[in-house]
Structure 1
């Protein structure tokens, strides 16, 4: 009877160990689906004089074609380490709510200028550029520049009104300027203060947040 209990106990422990290991292996397998690199940018993001790397990878197995942003920072040993990752800042190419149809936008482009990571994205009737700055282990959204236009005839002509929005999240100053194509001064300027504290971190920004700015 003691031997039976002993073997039952060992079998029970084996089950407890094998189940989470199976779940873990599945989790790792799922995370590795983002294998196709569609964007890559290199530059110094944390002002240490070393080259860092930004990549955008696509999951080609999932029918929606989701995209993952990853930022790798250089380490003293010369090997890059993953600093942050996001699966929600870029819209899938074929969103489930579109019933399998293409979302109509190209994959965002990334630039590194003076230590600032810029993400340029197409949006309906224009484009938006997010500016992220590295601060104490996080990439914080510090500035948003958005350009939209209202083409009443369905195409851009001399009557099309362009609206440029500049939002400095550090000062809280948000400025909207309306102007026509070729005009030397704006038709209207609207300015207000909008404070967002704490500053949004890149891993918390969603592609749908374009409407917030």
Structure 2
């Protein structure tokens, strides 16, 4: 008699790429985030997990897990080629979880705050070199965007390297409700901000 078994578990997040500790839920105890890579899958997907301390013990409990917020190293649409970006870095400071990622021509930082059992996106900072083509000068122009999702104020500033004066500043109010949460966010959402 021949028996065949199929492995139902397709995920093999077996390599830890990042780990950061800090207090995310303001209880005075250390919480932890990890980023793990699935080294079996050809696209090399990444999983972000956030573990929070519990009030009655030292054990950390999984609060959030996402495989959508970080782009795979070899996305399907790249036909086997690397995405050309580093794996995002994470920082915990004053109860805020920050995710710093490379993007085309610059970088983006997402700030998340733990509130009512969720990690909500509260601020986005984006920095793009030569972000606008309005200027003919040969010097380096960059566009800095600061989007406070709580107030809805989105400020874009065009600056020239070496100058202390902004070339152009654009303010716009954009209300996003409810605030985006980590499990719902995709790496492609960077175009929204």
User: What is aligned with 1:122?
Assistant: 102
What is the Cα-based RMSD across aligned positions, in Å? 1.7
| 1:129-148 equivalence runs, <5 A | 129-148=109-128
Q: How does 1:43-192 map to 2 (within 5 A)?
A: 43-75=22-54, 76-150=56-130, 159-192=139-172
Decide which structure has the larger Cα Rg and report it.
1
Which structure's residues are more often strand, by fraction? 2
CA contact (8 A) 2:131 2:143 kept: no
Cα deviation code 1:71-92 (max 9, x no counterpart): 0001122110000010000000
Cα offset for 1:151? 7.9
Question: For residues 47 and 181 of structure 1, what CA distance do their matches in structure 2 show?
Answer: 39
Supply the distance in 2 between the matched residues of 1:68 and 1:134 (Cα, whole angstroms).
19
- Map of 1:39 onto structure 2: 18
Matches of 2:128 and 2:87, distance apart in 1: 18
Q: So what's the TM-score if we normalise by structure 1?
A: 0.83
The runs of 5 or more residues in structure 2 that have no matched partner are: none
State TM-score, norm by structure 2: 0.92
Query: For this pair of structures, how many residues does the alignment match?
Result: 184
> Per residue, is there more helix in 1 or in 2?
1
Segments ≥4 residues shifted beyond 2 Å: none
Long gaps (5+) in structure 1: 1-21
Kindly provide the CA deviation profile for residues 7-35 of structure 1, in whole angstroms up to 9, marking residues without a partner as x.
xxxxxxxxxxxxxxx88x72xx334x101
